[in-house]
């Protein structure tokens, strides 16, 4: 993608009423429509969605395909896709507007900062779909299911709130299982290292991202873990 194209998407993103951005990791200020500062922590359902429905996050959402898929399946829930890549979020936010999906929003920020933007118990559910597995030596602490990230999620999710990992990467799947079984207080409700080898256990697993379709075409197996933090 050219720099000019990216710049145009960044400009257009600032005109979307369903997209919010944080530009400084040291400052939890969010900006929304036309760069206006907004205070949404603890008030996402009320101030953005205009309801009191539960909130689901998709972390590292990319182009928001899973966020949009879940929003179509569950119109009685609110969904927020989170990613640092503005050009990717632009696609998801634009599609949501074109489809008039009122239960979808997007937040551009670093996942490390996620607890700065939500109050304790404000989030009901978290999805992590095909994140970067950070396979290089010494990078495991950057995986979105490493202890430091799980601790951040625990600050914002309701007690007993569901967390989901969907991935094609066996290293990330095994790493996550080890962390959940040995290093944190967690309850694994369901796990499967080849979800399509049998009828899908949950309807939301039917949603497929661009990357999942690509992985399946390459013959890779898709893995899934559903768990709660205790």
Q: Would you please indicate which residues are annotated as catalytic (active-site) residues?
A: 132
What kind and span of H or E run contains 164?
strand 157-167
Task: For Cα atoms 149, 157, 211, give the angle at the middle one, nearest 5 degrees.
Answer: 60
Distance CA 136, CA 2 (A): 28
If one counts every other C-beta atom within 10 angstroms of the C-beta of residue 15, the result is 10
The Cβ-side half-sphere exposure at 62, using a 13 Å CA radius, reads 14
* 3-state DSSP assignment of residue 202: coil
CA angle 131, 184, 77 (to 5 degrees): 55
User: What are 147's two structure tokens?
Assistant: 């202890």
CA angle at residue 196 from 194 to 200, to 5 degrees? 110
């Amino acid at each position: 993608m050219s720099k000019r194209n990216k710049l145009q998407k960044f400009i257009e993103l600032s005109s979307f009423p369903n997209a919010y951005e944080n530009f400084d990791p040291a400052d939890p200020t969010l900006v929304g429509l036309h760069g206006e500062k907004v205070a949404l922590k603890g008030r996402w359902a009320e101030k953005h969605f205009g309801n009191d429905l539960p909130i689901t996050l998709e972390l590292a959402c990319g182009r928001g395909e899973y966020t949009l898929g879940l929003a179509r399946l569950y119109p009685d829930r609110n969904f927020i896709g989170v990613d640092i890549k503005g050009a990717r979020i632009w696609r998801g936010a634009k599609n949501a507007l074109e489809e008039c999906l009122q239960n979808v929003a997007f937040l551009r920020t670093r996942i490390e900062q996620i607890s700065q933007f939500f109050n304790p118990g404000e989030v009901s559910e978290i999805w992590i779909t095909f994140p970067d597995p950070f396979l290089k030596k010494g990078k495991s602490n950057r995986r979105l299911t490493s202890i430091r990230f799980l601790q951040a999620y625990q600050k914002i999710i309701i007690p007993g709130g569901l967390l989901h990992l969907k991935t094609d990467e066996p290293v990330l799947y095994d790493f996550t299982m080890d962390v959940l079984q040995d290093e944190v207080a967690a309850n694994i409700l369901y796990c499967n290292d080849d979800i399509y080898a049998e009828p899908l256990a949950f309807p939301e697993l039917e949603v497929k991202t661009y990357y999942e379709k690509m992985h399946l075409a390459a013959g890779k197996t898709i893995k899934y873990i559903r768990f709660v933090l205790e």
